[in-house]
Chains A and B, each alone.
Chain A
Amino acid sequence: MTDVDNLFREYLAEHRAGGEADPRSFLARAEGADRLELAALIEAILERSPGREWDAVAFAGSPAARAAESVATEWDLEGEVEEASVGWRELLPALRNRVQVRRRDLVARLAEGIGAPGQEEKVAAYYHQMEHEQLPAAGVSNRVLEVLGGILGQSAETLRAAGRVVSGGAVEDTAMPAFSRKALEDPQYGAPSAASPAEAERTRSAEPDLVDELFTGGPDAGT
């Protein structure tokens, strides 16, 4: 075997054993034409490598993890911009369809989650207003958004950002009703709840309670 053969086999063995396999350590031991040949072989073997099996422990804190975090941070920043184009009117029904939960079931889970079991009707009225962008996002508590986000598979932050947007339009300080676009609903999951805007109005005019506070008292309400 030539020196290049030996060096390459040695490299291959170290690479397969999960060692450092730093090509420079091997290239430093070859000269001239041998160096180029060895470099070509090493490049080829790296491009043919199947890569590492997933190992969450080894990944944590590794340079690969830092690189991935850097890429994901870019996505987050881009995502914030993207979120500003979709409001609750589009987002909430779409998320509901995606996780395949009926509105009445969502309302029941939401009521339970915010500590208001038995008040599904009132929660349904507020949720109805959210889906129609008739409830100011600034008034909705973190607790509501966290529970809702848990049901819909989204973060509370994402839901709040979407709540500041009028679907199809610009970001608003206060949520104004907007009817320019309508989200497509899967009829199976979009069955209308008992709540209507008129009922919602009646709900609002009653004596304020925990549910009112959580949906209109601001981010920290209920804490």
Chain B
Amino acid sequence: MDNVLEVWGDTGEVVQRPFTAEEQAQREADADAQAKAEAAAISKAQAEAAARDAAITHAKSLGFTDEMIAVMYPNLAPAS
């Protein structure tokens, strides 16, 4: 498919063409990097959620209620 649009600002020339082999390879590299970044973000979010839940569980084991935890640690909302 001709998914690439190339524009020359000085002459006004416009060409629509398919990806070159080099551009296609770069797109695949971009996709891999994006997938890794998303996986890392998900992993980080899951770790943070687990830490929040553990902190809440520990606070409750010490006798604190949800209301008390919310007042003392307003950023410590349950993950779900």
B partners with A:
no
